[in-house]
Structure 1
Amino acid sequence: MNLWLVLAGALSLLAAALHVAIICKGPAWYRLFGAGERMATLAEQGKREPALITANIALVLLLWALYAFSGAGLLPPFPLLDWALAGITLIYLLRGVLPMLAAVFMPQLRTPFMWWSSLICTVYGLCHAVGLFILLVQSGLPRYD
């Protein structure tokens, strides 16, 4: 069992559950977790867009958790497992690192939400990266001699 991918899957599952909780708790939680004033205001007005957007993010995070659990050996192998995990890893790492780099040149990006969400995504990405590396080593890295 690949414990790094178990951890990565658990983290993605936690993030998915948090997004569902935000939908349930409403505008105050949209603000608390940095979704932006526009999303919070739309939620206050009873618009469906914030819940739909947040639910779709939760579904993607759930799918990512299931892929990590598949890579960990807790579920049967999913289609394109290695490629999907590589893509998920890349997305988490880019989401984590790029805003921090952009904040160096764009001071308006330097918000508490940007810093902590970027740090969280970087940690998630690193867990996926280590787990994916272990998975690839165990399955035999491709050789290009």
Structure 2
Amino acid sequence: MRSRPTRTRLAGALLAATAAVGLATAGTGTASAETVVPLERCWGVSPNIVDQPFSTARLFVSPEGRGRVVARVRDVSSFWIPTGGYQSVGRLDWHNLTTGRKGTSVNAASIGLYVGGPTFHLTTGPGTVRVTFSAVNRNALWAIPSTACSGTMRVG
């Protein structure tokens, strides 16, 4: 059996390495634009009572350009898989400290196992923006509010 020439083996190795790097970095383009905005910790009892508490301390923020961002609460969860978890209605108040503009966004989300938190589309304008998040969490029987938590983000 003949061995392949060195040049052919090197070209094959280079092609394999290039493909591996391409696969390893595929899909990472938009994730790098997302930033984490720390908040004071928000606490709340799950409306399912015997469940993990409603607790978040950060927003995941992606710029949309021209002073617009998408802010997501992602790190709340419920162990109540058979009932589908619970509903969370989040409120995000914002105040652009640079321009003085203010606003509020409200959105609902289903909280399940490792899934949860509302998403907010904000048009704050560029500048330093103070945000305050709170939620009311409900099941079929009752609603329980969380504490409010605040943080500051920079919007381009």
Q: Which bin holds the TM-score, normalised by the shorter protein?
A: under 0.3
Given the two structures, how large is their TM-score scaled by the length of structure 1?
0.22
Which structure ranks higher in relative contact order (CA pairs < 8 Å, sequence separation ≥ 6)?
Answer: 1
Structure with bigger helix share is 1
Given the two structures, how large is their TM-score scaled by the length of structure 2?
0.21
Structure with bigger strand share is 2
